[in-house]
Amino acid sequence: MPRIAKPLTDTQIRNAKPKSKEYNLADGQGLYLRVKQSGSKEWVFNYYKPISGKRTNKGLGIYPNVSLKVARDKRQIYQELLAEGHDPAEYLAKKKNEQASVAANTLRKVTELWLETRTDITARYARDIKSSLTTHVMPSLGHIPITDITPVMAINAIRPLAEQGKSETVSRVCSRLIRIMGFAKNTGLVEENRLYGIKDAFKSPKHKNFPTIAPSELPDFIQQLSRASITLTTRLLIEFQLHTMVRPGEAAGARWSEIDFDNALWIIPGTRMKKGRQHIVPLTKQCLAILSEMEVISNQSEYVFPADRRGKGHVSAATANMAIKRMGYKGRLVSHGLRALASTTLNEQGFRPDIIEVALAHGDKDKVRDSYNHAEFLQQRGEMMAWWSNHIESANLELKGVRNVAIEV
């Protein structure tokens, strides 16, 4: 029968002196105090590894930094792990690595990982997402592990925006945080998306449409555009955007390499589209006429609408807006509102709503159906776009073929 060790006392431990060789003082149940030749005293837990059955030691710390009571508490924890079939050393090392991983996976880090997976959005949109989170969330939450982020913490971070009445920004930031936490759940970083309901803590934003004009005001707009003191490039940019129904940034950044003159198509790559998917625009005879003029003006630039003073760059997406504002349409119309003008007119004329939506590059949530619609509707869209261009042209027939070049104000 093995001899049962008599538990140690603090007095014994304090009075233990070094010898010519290190030696152990047993406290029982695998716990030892190892007294070294240098005089230092280290706690050691001796046990059999569950799988191999080999005897091994696990250091518990130096006395008196680790007291007798703390050493016994650690022994109790290790014995419980052994009873569950765990090797204490391996189990604790694994836990330490997991804790380090948790500490490393801060909200900022997980946001970066999430953005890397967002191949469905443009680089510009990704920068917008990162900028909004960097400004409104990261100062207070960026350094916190994703596992520690709570709904209350997120709501408190966003609340200043709500107090400023920026409900649209609140909605966007909430949506982005929810998606980031969803990504963390799907990749095993958290067990649940605890931020799912944070939008409910704020008032829903009232949807604001871009200012636009009524279809009946199109002739006056065309006339004002022809008389405006703006550069020819700016005037043609506005006309091109009006005819093609694209977004301001998509028109301003048009490249000659995207134009298929043989098939009269403008193929915009997904990297330049809001939804991250390629968009094909049938080019009417009026669009091709605009492009013919810009071929002369662009002077071999890679961009259809080159900037005046930026070398190889293109005009700003805000160029059309500024021109429309100077034309006297401040508060009444913005360049993005030209899309709404086209949509309203085409709907009133009885064109199919789904074809109009495809022409506006409003993506279908069903990606298979969305892809099918883009291909299937191309001919019908071409016919609709031809009607729209003819309608624009007929809005002021006396100006057909006349273009006034004025210096930019």
Q: Which residues are designated catalytic?
A: 247, 274, 336, 339, 362, 372
Return the DSSP state at 257: G
Alpha carbons 86 and 166: distance in angstroms, whole number: 53
Please provide the DSSP assignment of 368-392 as one string.
HHHHHHHHHTHHHHHHHHHHHHHHH
Beta strands in 238-383 (DSSP E): 259-260, 265-268, 279-282
By the 8 A CB rule, do 167 and 203 touch? yes
Sign (positive/negative) of CA torsion 174, 180, 181, 182? positive
Please report which residue ranges of 137-212 form alpha helices under DSSP H: 138-141, 151-163, 167-186
Alpha carbons 88 and 86: distance in angstroms, whole number: 6
Alpha carbons 182 and 95: distance in angstroms, whole number: 24
Return the DSSP state at 55: E
Alpha carbons 315 and 303: distance in angstroms, whole number: 9
Beta-strand relationship, 41-48 and 31-35: antiparallel
Q: What is the 3-state secondary structure (H, E, C) of 222-236?
A: HHHHHHCCCCHHHHH
